[in-house]
Chain A
Amino acid sequence: MFESIAAALGPEIYQYLLAGLVTGLLYALIALGYTMVYGIIELINFAHGDLFMLGAFFSLQLAIWVGAAGAKGQATGEFAVLAVAIMLVAAPVFCAALNVTVDRVVYKPLRNAPKLAPLVSAIGVSFIFMNIGVFWMGTYDLNFPELIPPTNLTPGYRVEFTYQHLMVIVVTLPVMVALTLFVRYTALGKAMRATAQNPTAAQLMGINVDRVIAATFAIGGALAGVAAVVYGLYVNSAGYQMGFQTGLFAFTAAVLGGIGNIPGAVLGGILIGLIEKLGTGYVGDQWRQPLIFAILIVILIFRPNGILGARTREKV
C-alpha cells in the first residue's frame, strides 16, 4: 500500500520527507521556546521569532570576527570548525541573556496585569528586535557561511543525505532529549512543572516563581540560539525577516502539538516541517504558507487544544 502511494508520488518523496523531518526538528527547537513560556506565564511570546533572528545575526557576526566569513557572509574557507564551535556556545548564551533581560525589564512588571498587556508588549519587543536587526545587518538577505559542506554522504541511494542534514539531527536531538530529562528529573524542572500547573500553589510550597520564570526564559532563549546557529548553517541565509516567518511556523507547531506541552511541540514541529516540504514539493512554493495555516485552522476547529494538549474545561 505504502509502496504504491510512494510510486504515485514519485521518487522525490523520500527527499521531501527527509527535508521535512530536518526542518521540522528546527521548528521544534523554536516551538519549545514558545511552548515553555506559554506553559508557565500564558504569554504568546511574539518576540521569540525575532530573538531567533538576532541569534542568527549574532552567529553570523561571530563567523565574520573569527574570519570564517567575509563581510557579506560568504565563507572564506578558514577556521570553519572553530567558528561553528564558538557559535554553538556563544549564540545560546547571547539569546538566553537577551530573553531573560527582556523578561526582567518588560514582562515582569506586567505579571498581574490583564492578559492583553504582556501580549501587546511582546509585539512591541518583536518590533524593536526587528529594527535592531535592520540596523545590524541591513534590509537585504545575507549569506550565512557554508561552514558545514552539503556533501552527500549516501551516494547511490535515492535520498541525498548530506553533512548539513546530519548536523541538524546531531545537534537538535540531544538538545531535546536533554531538555526532556531536565524537566522531568531535576529540581528546577520539577519547580517549572509545578509553576506551570499552579503558580500560587507553587509559591506557597516555597518555590521562587520569579526565578523559575527567568530560568524558563533562559532555556527558551538558549534553544532559539541553538536553532539560529543550526538554521544558519543548514539554510545558509539570514535576513531581518527570517524571524517573523520561521517564528510563525514554529508557533503554529507549538499550537498544533498543544501549547504548553513539550512533546507536543516536538511533534508539531516535525509535522509542520513535513507539511511545508511536501506542500512545496507537490503543490508549489507559493501555496506553502496558506497550506500550513489552513491546516492549523482546521486542526484548531476540530481539536482546539492541539494534538497532545489536554482538554480543559472552562472555569467559571
Chain B
Amino acid sequence: MSLRGAAGYWMVAGFVLLAALPFLQGRYIATYGTQLIPVLCFAILALGLNVVVGYTGLLHLGIAAFFGIGAYVTAILTTSGFPFASSFLVAAVAAMLVAAAVGVATTAPTLRLRGDYLALVTMGFGIITVSVIRNLDALTDGTKGLTPVSPNFFPGFDDPVFEKSRPGWKDSWRGYPRLYYLCLAVLAGVVIFLRNLERSRLGRAWVAMREDELAASCMGLNPAKLKLSAIALGAGLAGLAGALFAISQDGTTEPRAYGFERSMLVICCIILGGLGNRPGVLLGVVLLVGYDQIVTSMLDNWLQEQKVNPEGKEYLKVSGWRLFIFGLALILMMRFRPEGMLPAARQKRELHPERDEAAGERAAKAEAEAKDKPVDRGKKNE
C-alpha cells in the first residue's frame, strides 16, 4: 500500500517535471524535447489498452488499429483534401467516437470467445484494419498516408494552434510547446478520470469479472455489457491518442505505424510496467517507448559522431538491438517479476502468494507437523 502511495507521488512529480521541461535550457532538451510528444500519445494509448487488458482481463492484440482509426479520422476531418476542414476539437471527439463505435461493433459478435481465441480474433482485427486502411486508396491515400494536418483548435477560431514552424523547442509559445502542453493536459485528464473510474461501480465490476466471470455474473453483473463498455472506453482513448499523434506527426504517416508491431509494443509497456496499475503503465511507457524513441536515437547519433560504425552494420547500431532488448526484457520480466515493475496490489498477491501467505502457511505447516509426528506417516510413503 505504501508503494502505491509513493508511486502516486512519483507520478505527480513526473508530471510537474514534464510541465517544466520547455522552460529548461539545454542542447538535449531542444533536440529531443519534441520527441516526447509521441511518448505522451503512447501513454494515452497504453492507458486505453490497460482498461481492456488490465482492468477487464481481455487480451486485446489489436489496439493499434483504434489508434490508427483515430489518426485517420482526424486527418480526414482536417486536411484540405476533404471538404470538412473541421477544428481539432471536433476531429478529436469524432476520432474517439468512431474508434469506440468500431470497437463495440467488432467486439459484440466475439463476446463468447475467451482467452487465446479472443486474442487471435483481436489480432486478426488489427491486421485487417491496417490492410483496409492501406487498400482504400481513395480515402486514405494508400501507403503514403494523409498529410498535412494543421487545424485550428476551436471551431471558428482562426488561429492555427499547432503551428509547425518549429524553429526550436523553446522559441515561442506559438510553436511546438502548445501541442506538448495539450498532450500533457489530456494525459493528466485521462489519468485522473481513470483513477476515479477505477473506484466507481463500473471499475470494480470490471475487476470482479476479470477475476471470475462466472461468479461475477452470478452476482448479477452483465458480462456482455461490461466487456463492451471496457472496449468502448479503451478504443475511445486509443482514438484520442491517435488524433493527437496525427497532429504531432503532421499527418497519419504510413499505415504500417498502426500494425501488429505497435500493438505488441503497447502490450509490452503495460505488462512490463504492471498490468492494471496506472503508475506502472506510465512507467512502462516511459521506459520502453522512451528507450525506443529517444534513448536509441541519442546513442546512435553519439556512435555516429564517434565513427565507430563506418559500414553501417546492424549489430553496431543501438537501434539494431531493439527487438533483442525488448524480447530479453519480456522474458526476464516474466521469469522473475511477472507482476510488472509497479504491480497493482491485487496482482502482486495473486502471483506471489508465498510472500503474502507465508506466515499463514508456516503456521498451518507447523500444526500439521505436530499432528504427524507421533505416527511419522509422511516419511514412509516416499
Evaluate contact between A301 and B110: CB separation under 8 angstroms: yes
- Min CB distance B299 to A, Å, is 17
Q: In the complex, are the beta carbons of B330 and A121 less than 8 A apart?
A: yes
A182 at interface by CB-CB < 8 Å: no
Query: Is the CB–CB distance between B115 and A115 below 8 Å?
Result: yes
Tell me whether B121 and A300 are in contact (CB under 8 A): yes
Q: Which of B59, B115, B334 contacts A117 (CB 8 A)?
A: B334
Q: Cα distance A90–B194 when bound, in Å?
A: 54
| B320 A135 Cβ-Cβ under 8 A | yes
CB nearest neighbor in B for A102: B331
The stretch from B21-29, B77-85, B124-132, B356-364 touching chain A is B124-132
Quick check: A131 and B321 within 8 Å, CB to CB?
Answer: yes
B167 CB–A CB distance under 8 Å: no
**B379: which A residues are within 8 A, CB to CB?**
none
Does B191 make an interface contact (CB < 8 A)? no
Q: Contact: B327 with A128, CB < 8 Å? A: yes
Residues facing A in B319-370 (CB within 8 A) are 320-324, 326-331, 333-335, 338, 350-351
Q: Is A126 an interface residue (CB 8 A)?
A: yes
Contact A289 B334 (CB under 8 A): no
Q: Which residues of chain A have a CB within 8 Å of any CB of chain B? A: 42, 44, 106, 109-110, 113-118, 120-121, 123-128, 130-132, 134-135, 138-139, 244, 248, 251-252, 255, 259, 286-287, 289-290, 293-294, 296-297, 300-301, 304, 314, 316
Give the CA-CA distance A309 to B360 in the complex, in Å. Answer: 43
Bound CA–CA A110/B328 (angstroms):
15
- A-B contacts, 15 listed (Cβ < 8 Å): A44-B120, A114-B351, A123-B267, A126-B327, A128-B328, A131-B321, A135-B320, A252-B124, A289-B128, A290-B132, A296-B121, A300-B113, A301-B113, A304-B113, A316-B214
B271 — which chain A residues lie within 8 A by C-beta?
A: 116, 120
Check B109–A127 contact: CB distance below 8 A: no
- A293–B331 touching, CB < 8 Å: no
The distance from the CB of A314 to the nearest CB of chain B, in whole angstroms, is: 8
B301 at interface, CB cutoff 8 A: no
Contacts of A297 in B (CB 8 A): 110, 121, 124-125, 128
| B201 is an interface residue with CB less than 8 A from chain A | no
Tell me whether B314 is interfacial, beta carbon within 8 Å: yes
Q: In the assembly, what is the distance between CA of A128 and CA of B323, in Å?
A: 6
B115-158 vs A, Cβ < 8 Å mask (1 yes, 0 no): 11101110111011001101100000000000000000000000
Q: Give Cα A251–Cα B116 distance, bound, in whole angstroms.
A: 12
The number of residue pairs between A and B whose CB atoms lie closer than 8 Å in the complex comes to: 123
Contact B334–A293 (Cβ < 8 Å): no
B320, A134: Cβ atoms under 8 Å?
Answer: yes
In contact, A124 and B334 (Cβ under 8 angstroms): yes
Task: Give Cα A117 to B335, complex, Å.
Answer: 8
**Residue picked from B121, B329, B331, most chain A C-beta under 10 Å:** B331
Interface of B is mostly: helix
Minimum CB–CB distance from A155 to chain B (whole Å) comes to 37
User: If A128-B323, A287-B135 touch, does A121 touch B335 (CB 8 Å cutoff)?
Assistant: yes
A110 to chain B, nearest CB (A): 6
B337 CB to nearest chain A CB (Å): 11
Residues of B within 8 A of A252 (CB): 120, 124
CA distance A124 to B272 in the complex (A): 12
Cα of A297 to Cα of B320 in the assembled complex, Å:
35
- How many residues of B are in contact with the other chain, CB < 8 A? 45
In the bound complex, residues from chain A placing their C-beta under 8 Å from that of B102 are none
Q: In the complex, what's the smallest C-beta–C-beta distance from B350 to chain A, in angstroms?
A: 8
Given A125-B327, A297-B125: A286 and B134 within 8 A (CB)? yes
Chain B residues with CB under 8 Å of A109's CB are: 335
Interface pair A125/B331, CB less than 8 Å apart: yes
**A286 with B124, Cβ < 8 A, contacts A125-B327, A131-B323 known:** no
Contacts of A301 in B (CB 8 A): 109-110, 113, 121
- Taking each of A44, A110, A116, A244, which has the highest tally of chain B beta carbons within 10 Å of its own beta carbon? A116
**Which residues from A are CB-within-8-Å of B214?**
314, 316
- What separation, in Å, do the CA atoms of A301 and B108 have in the docked complex? 10
- Which residues of chain A are near B314, meaning CB under 8 Å? 134-135, 138-139
Residues of B within 8 A of A289 (CB): 127-128, 131
Give chain B nearest CB distance to A169 CB in angstroms.
29
Q: Chain B residues near A296 (CB, 8 Å)?
A: 120-121, 124
A-chain residues with CB within 8 Å of residue B132 when the two chains form the complex: 290
Q: Assess A286 versus B330: contact at CB under 8 Å? Given A130-B323, A300-B121, A301-B113.
A: no
Contacts of A118 in B (CB 8 A): 334
Given A118-B334, A121-B334, A286-B131; 11 other pairs, CB 8 A cutoff = A114-B338, A120-B268, A121-B330, A123-B330, A124-B330, A127-B330, A128-B328, A135-B315, A286-B135, A290-B127, A294-B128
Complex formed: what's the CA distance from A289 to B128 in Å?
7
B331 partner, pick from A106, A115, A286, beta carbons under 8 A: A106
- Closest partner residue, chain A, to B215 (CB atom): A316
CA distance A248 to B110 in the complex (A): 20
Residue of A nearest to B120 (CB): A255
Inter-chain contacts of A248 with B (CB < 8 A): 123, 127
- Is B380 an interface position by the 8 A CB rule? no
Bound-state CA distance A302–B314 (Å) is 46
Residue B264 lies at the interface, judged by CB distance under 8 Å to chain A: yes
Chain B 57-79, CB-CB to A under 8 Å as 1, else 0, gives: 00100000000000000000000
* Residue B307, interface by CB 8 Å: no
- Residues from chain A with Cβ under 8 Å of B121 in the complex: 296-297, 300-301
A290 touches B120 (CB 8 A): no
Query: If the complex has contacts A127-B323, A289-B131, are A120 and B330 also in contact, measured as CB distance less than 8 A?
Result: yes
Most buried by A among B115, B117, B120, B260: B120
Contact B117 A110 (CB under 8 A): no
B323 to chain A, nearest CB (A): 4
Instruction: Provide the residues of chain A in CB contact with B109, threshold 8 Å.
Output: 301
Those 10 A-B pairs whose CB atoms lie nearest each other, nearest first: A127-B327, A124-B330, A293-B124, A128-B327, A131-B324, A124-B327, A131-B323, A124-B331, A127-B323, A290-B131
**Shortest distance in angstroms between A289's beta carbon and chain B's nearest beta carbon?**
5
Tell me which of A131, A134, A255, A287 has the highest count of chain B C-beta atoms within 10 A of its own C-beta.
A131
